[in-house]
Amino acid sequence: MQKYAINIAFFAGCLLIVLAAQFGMVDLYVQSVIMFMGINIILSSSLNIVNGYMGEFSCGHAAFMCVGAYVSSVITVVLFAQNKIFGAPILPPDMAVFFMPLAILAGGVVAALVGILVAVPSFKTRGDYLAIITIAVNYMVISGIENLEIIGGSRGFMGMKQVVYAMGDVVDIPWMMIWTILGTVFTIWIIRRFVSSTYGKGISAICQDEIAAEIMSVNTNKMKLVAFMLSSGLAGVAGGLFAHVIGYVNPQSFNILKSTECMVMVYLGGMGSLSGSVLSAVLFTLLLEALRPLQIVKWVIIPLILVLLMQFRPEGILGNKELSDVFPRLKRYFRFK
Amino acid sequence: MEALFQNIINALQWGSFYALIALGYTLVYGVLLLINFAHGDIFMVGAYIAFGVSVFVLGTQGLDLPNWAILACGVPLTMVLTAGVGVTLERIAYRPLRRKGAHRLYVVITALMCGLILENGNLALLGASRKKFPELMEKTIWTFGNVSVTNLKVIVIVAAFATFAFLNFIVTRTRIGMAMRAVSYDKFAIPLMGIPVDTVIVFTFVLGSGFAGLAGMLFAMSYPILEPYMGALIGWKAFIAAVVGGIGDIRGAFVGGFLLGFIEVGVVAVFPSTFRDLIAFSILLLILWIKPTGLFGVARHQKI
């Protein structure tokens, strides 16, 4: 029983959130904040694979989010919504309920394929040069999508709300909340499984010493490819959720500032710490909402926080430890390793 | 043919801006092995300082000097003040981290965040309204056939080449330049030789930021609309140009800057202008795939 306590508590918590959303106990604003928490958790923990566990410095994470957002939005809108360019829905809108997770996953898969753009150069280069490549990829993706007139170019793309309403017509429950929670759980599960497996230890080995890892029979190129693709694929999933929660995307919402947000979350939580990523994503989302009235000053305060963090506690909140290492009594309930 | 010449002149002008900014990136990287991500924003601050100096200090709102005097006093003043900004940044943000022996990554993140603070701090302080830079020079246009050259373009190009020659002279022919090369070669042995490392680093920042200030002034004179985010994109691109040239090498930054200028102008001449960033970045990515250390860069051997 003790072994499953944390899972049961977690499941109950998720159910409680969904029920609260269903019966209108929390208003739409709070719901959207909760959904953004989920999306930010996916973003920060997926970037943590590359920036934390593998010790690289990728600063173009929003590019993959952008790809995922656009791909999944285009799929759902073409299939289930009335659109000026793509015409009438191809499938009956009621089927959106079953296709939604598939569309979001498809966005993730395409984003993972775009991740190869970064992964291949990373075989030869490390550190600063790779950082440049990620930035260049971020600009390239945004610029490329701005030049695709068929999906709205720089005006953005909309119509996802119709799909969400169509799902609500089938069964009236907060669908996007459920998908976001499922996506978050899936991300955490897959990352945790990956980095605590023997196979995934190769990534930590690359972080410690690439040459030594190569000698100890870690296939470094393959590990890098897997890590980059997993990271960017999950970012694509986050992007798909983001697009459907907001109902409107435009390329400029995935610029360097968004990538910076992801980086802030990773370094705030601590590199190579999954629970740290989750914790910092939650805190960061709340912080963003709290600073919203300050408008532009928000973007002075957030970098300032990170600068001070680097000066006084560079390892972040948890820093290479998990919650169960900081509070050993939690080990009774869950083991990370 | 005439269009080609016109494009070459425009590319030389753009390349000059990129080269001037890329030189600052390269200087700091060569000495500290640190990507000073805030450099693009120092260029932006330089443009704003130029605006402040030429309007509120020497210009119509201040001493009300004639235009030639504003130029003569404004350029050195802008360079000195911008160098001050760069040195301040080094002193309050990078030096404590260096003293602690922090991981390089933390310094890079700090640099990135300082850039954001400069951008958005500027936006919060001065508001989002764009500033109009006063016209300090009579615009003379020389036309050869259909090719037109303004005196400003010539000044920008000459300034870039002069800066390159000056920096090359400093790094290769003077004692402090030797110290700079030495610090980049071996950071641990240099203090033992009695070379003041901090002085060398501050000097590097003074050089880099000063010329960013010059670039800001020239940019503001060429394109007289200032906005807080002007440094971000140009800074990134100049940095990528420096990397393509081989970061840490002055010739590399210079060549990379002009290369990027020619690529961009060439793309705009052939394709629709919205494709500029896409194709420019793709070409740079290809170059980095083929030569990961850049054109002039030397691969560093790792010891096991």
Select the residue of B114, B120, B293 nearest A296 (Cβ to Cβ): B120
Q: What's residue A8's pLDDT?
A: 83
Percent above pLDDT 90 for chain A: 18
How many domains does chain B divide into? 1
Look at residue B8 and tell me if it is in a domain. no
Interval B130-150: pLDDT, tens: 777 777 777 777 777 777 788
Select the residue of A144, A296, A311 nearest B123 (Cβ to Cβ): A296
Look at residue B4 and tell me if it is in a domain. no
- Three-class HEC string of chain B: CHHHHHHHHHHHHHHHHHHHHHHHHHHHHHHHCCCCCCHHHHHHHHHHHHHHHHHHHCCCCCCCCCHHHHHHHHHHHHHHHHHHHHHHHHHHHHHHHHHHCCCHHHHHHHHHHHHHHHHHHHHHHHCCCCEECCCCCCCCEEEECCEEEEHHHHHHHHHHHHHHHHHHHHHHHCHHHHHHHHHHHCCCCCHHHCCCHHHHHHHHHHHHHHHHHHHHHHHHHHCCEECCCHHHHHHHHHHHHHHHHCCCCHHHHHHHHHHHHHHHHHHHHHCCHHHHHHHHHHHHHHHHHHCCCCCCCCCCCCCC
Average pLDDT value for residue range B228-232: 83
Note whether B4 contacts A: Cβ–Cβ < 8 A: no
Contact assessment for residue A58 and residue A130, using Cβ atoms and an 8 Å cutoff: yes
Note whether A301 contacts B: Cβ–Cβ < 8 A: no
Contacts of A137 in chain B (CB under 8 A): 285
What tokens does B90 get? 């080094």
Instruction: Judge whether residue B89 has pLDDT over 80.
Output: yes
Note whether B274 contacts A: Cβ–Cβ < 8 A: yes
Note whether A131 contacts B: Cβ–Cβ < 8 A: yes
Average pLDDT value for residue range A105-117: 91
The whole domain housing B79 covers: 19-127+152-290
**Binning pLDDT at 50, 70 and 90, where does residue A110 land?**
very high
User: What residues pair up with B141 in beta bridges, in sequence order?
Assistant: B150
Percent above pLDDT 90 for chain B: 20
Q: Give how far Cα B257 sits from Cα of A132, B187, B241, Å.
A: 15, 28, 5
How much is the mean pLDDT over chain A?
84
3-class secondary-structure state, position A83: strand
Interval B160-177: pLDDT, tens: 999 999 999 998 899 999
Please give the interface size between A and B, counted as residue pairs whose CB atoms are below 8 Å apart.
Answer: 110
Look at residue B26 and tell me if it is in a domain. yes
Look at residue B135 and tell me if it is in a domain. no
What tokens does A45 get? 């923990």
Contact assessment for residue A203 and residue A54, using Cβ atoms and an 8 Å cutoff: yes
**Binning pLDDT at 50, 70 and 90, where does residue B300 land?**
low
Look at residue B253 and tell me if it is in a domain. yes
Look at residue B83 and tell me if it is in a domain. yes
Residues B110 and A304: their CA atoms lie apart, in Å, by 9
A185, containing H or E segment: helix A175-195
Interval A245-276: pLDDT, tens: 888 888 888 888 888 888 888 888 888 888 88
Note whether B3 contacts A: Cβ–Cβ < 8 A: no
Q: What's residue B302's pLDDT?
A: 59
The radius of gyration of chain A from alpha carbons, rounded to an integer in Å, stands at 20
Query: Is A129 within 8 Å of B123 when comparing Cβ atoms?
Result: no
CB interface of A with B, residues 212-251, below 8 Å: 212
Residue of A nearest to B243 (CA): A129
Contacts of A315 in chain B (CB under 8 A): none
Query: Is A140 within 8 Å of B282 when comparing Cβ atoms?
Result: yes
Instruction: Judge whether residue B81 has pLDDT over 90.
Output: yes
Query: Is B35 within 8 Å of A212 when comparing Cβ atoms?
Result: no
Contacts of A121 in chain B (CB under 8 A): 285, 288-289, 292
Residues A256 and A262: their CA atoms lie apart, in Å, by 10
Find which of B104, B113, B274, B277 to mutate to test the A interface (most A CBs within 10 Å of its CB).
B113
Q: What's residue B294's pLDDT?
A: 75
Interval A171-216: pLDDT, tens: 777 888 888 888 999 998 899 889 888 888 888 898 888 888 888 8
Percent above pLDDT 70 for chain B: 96
Find which of A126, A295, A307, A313 to mutate to test the B interface (most B CBs within 10 Å of its CB).
A307
Look at residue B80 and tell me if it is in a domain. yes
Contact assessment for residue A127 and residue A57, using Cβ atoms and an 8 Å cutoff: yes
Query: Is A129 within 8 Å of B103 when comparing Cβ atoms?
Result: no
Interval B10-51: pLDDT, tens: 888 889 999 999 998 888 888 888 888 889 999 999 999 988
| Smallest Cα distance from A285 to chain B, Å | 18
Residues A252 and A284: their CA atoms lie apart, in Å, by 21
Instruction: Judge whether residue A337 has pLDDT over 60.
Output: no
Contacts of B105 in chain A (CB under 8 A): 57
Contacts of A257 in chain B (CB under 8 A): 116
